[in-house]
Amino acid sequence: MRDLPLLPVREILPALAEALSVRGSVVLSAPPGAGKTTLVPIFLLDQPSFAGGKIILLEPRRLAARAAAGRMAELIGEKVGETVGYRMRLDNRVSSRTRIEVVTEGVFSRMILDDPELSGVSAVLFDEFHERSLDADFGLALALDVQSALRGDLKIIVMSATLDVERVVKLLGDAPVIRSEGRSFPIDIRYQQRNAGESVEDAVARTIADAHRSEEGSILAFLPGQAEIARTAERLTGRFGDSTAIVPLYGNLSQKEQDAAIRPAPNGTRKIVLATSIAETSITIDGVRIVVDSGLQRLPVFEASTGITRLETVRVSRASADQRAGRAGRTEPGLAIRLWHAGQTAALAAFTPPQILASDLSGLLLDLAHWGVTDPSALAFIDPPPEATLREARDLLVELGALDASGALTPRGRRIRNLALPVRLAAMAVLAAEEGQAQEACLLAVMLTEQGLGGNSLDLEDRLRRFRADRSDRAEAARRLAKRMAADLEAHETGGERALPGPLLIHAYPDRIALQRGGRGRFVMANGRGAEVPETERLASAGMLVVADLTGRAGAQRVLAAAEITRADVEAHMPEAIVNEEQTFFDRASRQVRARRVTRLGAIIFDETPLPRPSGEAAARALADGIRQLGLAAVPFPKDVAQLRDRIGFLHRSIGEPWPDMSDAALLSRLDEWFVPFQHNAGSLDGIKPNDLAEGLLSLVPYGLQRDLVKLAPTHFEAPTGHRHPIHYDGDEPLLSIRVQELFGLKAHPTIGDGRLPLLLELISPGHRPIQTTRDLPGFWAGSWKDVRAEMRGRYPKHPWPEDPANAMPTTRAKPRGT
């Protein structure tokens, strides 16, 4: 064993080697600061069974990958790029000598997809797997597939400080678990609940100031996002003098800025690092011994129905809270201050939700098709991808021409997959290449995938202009990447004017082409949803846009990035999407069916001409659409038809199938069966005829049962007086409301259903007020009638109240005069 630092994980390295000698997969659980990220790869490098092969270490973030590679190179006395190197999207430091490659998770997925045998690779290490990124889950599924089918000698190690060990062990075929116990240095965890109404930045700034005054060492504070970091920095600026630096740490910063944040403070000074979750894992910020945890994080949530990924601020998981606290004990005894009540920790989710359950899966589905898999269940995922999200992704890929109807990869799909870009932007680049604009499209795509390039303007023309003028290392690397992508497309540039962002983005976001409607800044998109641009923005006055990014829930979506286009741009780039057709539709304002001839793009109407009012099946279907919009309450059910519905519904509840369900949800789901065929002559909700409604409802009842309806659920009860009274079926049981005098002389309780079910009797007074409810009329006559009679005689003296109602004459009248 090399002269490795005396970190806790060193003690279990022999056990790890022994486990790997007999099993292909191992789970390594080690707390923060144990040294697993740097010591395990170096240790494996010297094992005879790994001689000559590469060791791939996966890290969730670029910052962590660079830091891990740098620390390992330092431990073996070399520079990064020699024995230890790293590989990521905009930065590679590897050579022919490199045997340990630290790669970001997305890079590994492409490596294994392009070389399924992982030629020359001895082991793959999944670090910080508890973060459960989509790329990590997919990469592990692919690695396990390769191990089982092609490379039985490939070793897989899944590592984490906080891990759902049991599920991972099961996925890896009951792999052995190696545990490294203990932390390098003790951590004192304290709780300081945020005051009611206090903003997160105020609470964090106050806690930092207190800790800075009472404790020694540098401070790392976790905040949910960049905006909160900026506001916290404002509150702290100028409070500590020149001896303490306040530095941010988040994904949008350049490599130099991120590296500066994790460097130790100069001797005699302190540092306050304000970070997002980027600082949770795999990095050591030298000198930090105090952690302030807001308890919040910002997670992306994909809505399959809208195709939008929005960021939500949520509570951290217990695993993340432990990771954050662990940052305080990396180099010396530390202090972690949590800004919530101690009792709330138990209520936190155990782990952060895996990305595969709340992500756009179009890229995953495309990669699976390249792998030769059309059904994701064929691979070993800890959490299977949701079927609804897969369905939306499949539809998008078919629309973009990347998959055929069977789910197989098309030639265009192969070109799209070969680009290291999100699916929509890759499709844009491929289609733009066919028009001689590959360079412009790739430049735009890279800018959109690298947060902060070109600034944060909503107007993409402005951002692209700033990106072109940016001379930073990050911008230069991004432009080189775009140039390589364009070259990979083997495209020939037109040599004409540069294409504007808008026409290019039409290929990526055809469903988000937007037309101004409803005033300045208000747009409707081709997918039928609304979107808003702040009125102060230049693009608020645009007639048409294509939206590249937006946030918010359905119905309240705010544009974050867009470019201006014209109708002519749409006609030039996707003429097949513009449709001329006659439409029959429901007009909510008038509650009528109307017809028009339109020129449209999805839900966007460019031109329309009114047509005569329609009739027939098309009109009935439009009316049914209106009912779906407004709810079944919009249907004008008259009393007799409402009672018919209640009767059938009662039989469904009491007997079950084949008597049909008459609930609102059930009838709405079957409008095409009972409504549309019977309403060909109704052009509005007011034009619906009662007989047609009754006929439609009865059509749901099997013909052989219709004759039983009257017997099992009669419409009326004939009283001893000869009068007919309606039976109400809209409650839990059939109800008959009747004046008590009409039941005199009745010795048996009224029933329905061939005498099997007693009616619930609501006996009412001559003043039509309830006086008794009963399911046992003879029992009522013999029992409580005496008390009712005593009370009612005085209140209604003109009406009969006999002592023996069971043998009295029924009546609807008052007593004759003089009696």
pLDDT score at 412: 92
Using the 3D structure, point to which of 654, 675, 708 is the last residue of a domain: 708
Domain co-membership, 105 together with 193: no
Residue 413 lies in a domain: no
* Cβ within 8 Å of residue 317, ≥6 positions away: 348, 349, 350, 351, 352
Using the 3D structure, point to which of 356, 378, 396 is the last residue of a domain: 356
pLDDT score at 816: 65
- DSSP letter assigned to residue 199: -
Nearest to 429 by CA among 457, 454, 448, 409: 448
Domain co-membership, 21 together with 136: yes
Sign of the torsion formed by the C-alpha atoms of 109, 111, 114 and 115: negative
Residue 123 lies in a domain: yes
Domain count, the chain: 5
* Cβ within 8 Å of residue 597, ≥6 positions away: 580, 581, 582, 583, 608, 609, 611
Domain co-membership, 305 together with 156: no
Domain co-membership, 288 together with 232: yes
Instruction: Report residue 87: phi and psi, to 5°.
Output: -140, 125
Residue 377 lies in a domain: no
Give how far Cα 495 sits from Cα of 409, 433, 435, 459, 643, Å.
32, 13, 11, 25, 75
**Residue 129 to residue 140: CA distance in whole angstroms:** 10
Instruction: Report residue 492: phi and psi, to 5°.
Output: -110, 120
253: its two tokens: 């910063």
Domain co-membership, 614 together with 759: no
Residue-number span of the structural domain to which 622 is assigned: 580-591+603-708
Residue 287 backbone class (left: φ over 0; alpha: ψ -120 to 50; beta: rest): left
Residue 244's CATH number: 3.40.50.300
Instruction: Report residue 218: phi and psi, to 5°.
Output: -80, 160
Residue 798 lies in a domain: yes
138: its two tokens: 């997919």
**Residue 188 to residue 333: CA distance in whole angstroms:** 8
666: its two tokens: 């059930």
Domain co-membership, 124 together with 264: no
**Residue 819 to residue 798: CA distance in whole angstroms:** 9
Domain co-membership, 704 together with 751: no
Using the 3D structure, point to which of 309, 337, 356 is the last residue of a domain: 356
Low-confidence ranges of the chain (pLDDT < 50): none
Instruction: Report residue 396: phi and psi, to 5°.
Output: -65, -45
Summarize pLDDT for 345-395 with one digit per residue, the tens.
999 998 888 999 988 999 999 999 999 988 888 999 999 999 989 999 999
Give how far Cα 805 sits from Cα of 266, 745, 751, 784, 786, Å.
104, 6, 19, 12, 10
Residue 381 lies in a domain: no
Domain co-membership, 230 together with 146: no
pLDDT score at 1: 55
**Residue 387 to residue 376: CA distance in whole angstroms:** 10
Domain co-membership, 559 together with 586: no
Domain co-membership, 51 together with 192: no
Residue 406 lies in a domain: no
Instruction: Report residue 21: phi and psi, to 5°.
Output: -75, -20
Domain co-membership, 50 together with 95: yes
Residue 370 lies in a domain: no
Residue 361 lies in a domain: no
Summarize pLDDT for 246-301 with one digit per residue, the tens.
999 988 777 778 878 888 888 889 999 999 988 877 677 778 899 999 999 998 88
**Residue 434 to residue 431: CA distance in whole angstroms:** 5
As a dihedral over the C-alpha atoms of residue 206, residue 207, residue 213, residue 216, rounded to 10 degrees, the angle is: -150
Domain co-membership, 237 together with 158: no
